Structure 1
């Protein structure tokens, strides 16, 4: 974990979803690494952070609340300026350029990553499951145990721009569950921890 920069300031989008759980996880690292964590709910806070996490939750609600809070364009600019961003679950959907199974009336996405995503790919909550996921990008690391609850998957990527970091074999299909494009990292579940550029989320 030596790639974590000293004094790294991590922001977690706190409009809806599991931002508190993400905050607790990062705060547990403070004793080991010099970093700070804050919940982001306004545009002015974006200038105070080095990297952003968009957590799991409900992607339609996150999108709507971003627009109501006038955060949509500032967030998009933050991502496109090259700042490290990690989208987990609903955050993955929100960062995707193409999304299937969009709710009636549509929703607005940041469209910052050249992937196609399918929401709630595995079905309802009763279809949840745990599985060990191999991550070849983390050499020498044991497989991660991941829990999939109404999770999305990445169904297609622009192979010239996007690197698939982890895949899940399910019902005879190979499904991408983590990917990276430049400064952007996506995982279908937040239990998967991956290196992003010079920072580790």
Structure 2
């Protein structure tokens, strides 16, 4: 079984490292013909407008839409979530082409700029029920989108409760903002799955296992021996950011 990763831009190498860590053949996809024979596809995080322009330049959109319409599973992370949404707000001037398929509205830059990136222990009951393990997942949000509205056919896999002091400008564009207390950050609809965060940047493989189960017809994948990781980033957790460490560093710097 081979799974493709759209390799136009973004964190495609990290996803490939995770797939190979699980013993799955991973294929970098840059041309339409490279989709042939694949059992599933991951659209990684990155810069969604750039990815869309490159996909248009290489005439990938018709083949990507055909791939999704065939029923083969597609998982979009961060920018990939924007790609799969039927509607996106907060777009740059001129917008971007979308693959669509997910009956939801996504705010392209809900959590703010790069400096507003964060990580959190995210409750993931839907993931735990399928894959077991800890009740939360270390979710890394990098200039992340969020789903502000989802249709009745969309299964919500995870939600993020907004802090009481949340001041994102995105709220100005969300209807009923005064009542918005949480946003959707992981969903599934038929053969499509999307997460607003980056599971490929952690050593917790449960989201990748969950997706591979979708690819394998709902059955757990019997992983082979680890594939070659030569030339790929190691799959390991980054140090956890702590505000106290940040303040300590600032104080040391100020004191020369």
Same fold, TM exceeding 0.5?
yes
Cα deviation, residue 156, structure 1: 0.4
Q: Which moved more, 1:125-134 or 1:181-190?
A: 125-134
How high is the TM-score relative to the length of structure 2?
0.70
Asked if 1:26 corresponds to 2:19, the answer is yes
SS of the residue corresponding to residue 48 of structure 1 reads coil
Deviations 1:115-172 (A, max 9, x none): 100012111122122111111112243110111110000110002x100000111135
Equivalent residue in structure 2 for 1:170, among 159, 162, 166: 162
Cα deviation, residue 48, structure 1: 2.2
Structure 2: state its 5+ residue gaps.
165-180, 200-205, 222-256
Deviations 1:15-62 (A, max 9, x none): 1111111111211111xxxx2111001111111210000000011111
RMSD: 1.7
SS of the residue corresponding to residue 81 of structure 2 reads helix
Greater Cα radius of gyration, structure 1 or 2: 2
> Quick one: distance in 2 between partners of 1:82 and 1:56?
22
Which residue in the other structure is 1:193 paired with? Answer: 207
Cα deviation, residue 98, structure 1: 0.5
Asked if 1:179 corresponds to 2:171, the answer is no
Which structure: greater helix fraction?
2
Which residue in the other structure is 1:9 paired with? Answer: 2
Deviations 1:93-128 (A, max 9, x none): 011100001110121101111010001211112212
SS of the residue corresponding to residue 99 of structure 1 reads strand
Equivalent residue in structure 1 for 2:90, among 101, 125, 141: 101
> Quick one: distance in 2 between partners of 1:89 and 1:45?
23
> Quick one: distance in 2 between partners of 1:126 and 1:70?
34
> Contact 2:120/2:140 (CA < 8 Å) preserved in 1?
yes
Which residue in the other structure is 2:59 paired with? Answer: 70
How many residues of Structure 1 are paired with residues of Structure 2 in the alignment?
Answer: 189
> Quick one: distance in 2 between partners of 1:134 and 1:92?
19
> Contact 2:140/2:198 (CA < 8 Å) preserved in 1?
no
Considering Cα pairs closer than 8 Å and 6+ residues apart, tell me whether 1 or 2 has the greater RCO.
2
Which structure: greater strand fraction?
1
SS of the residue corresponding to residue 185 of structure 1 reads strand
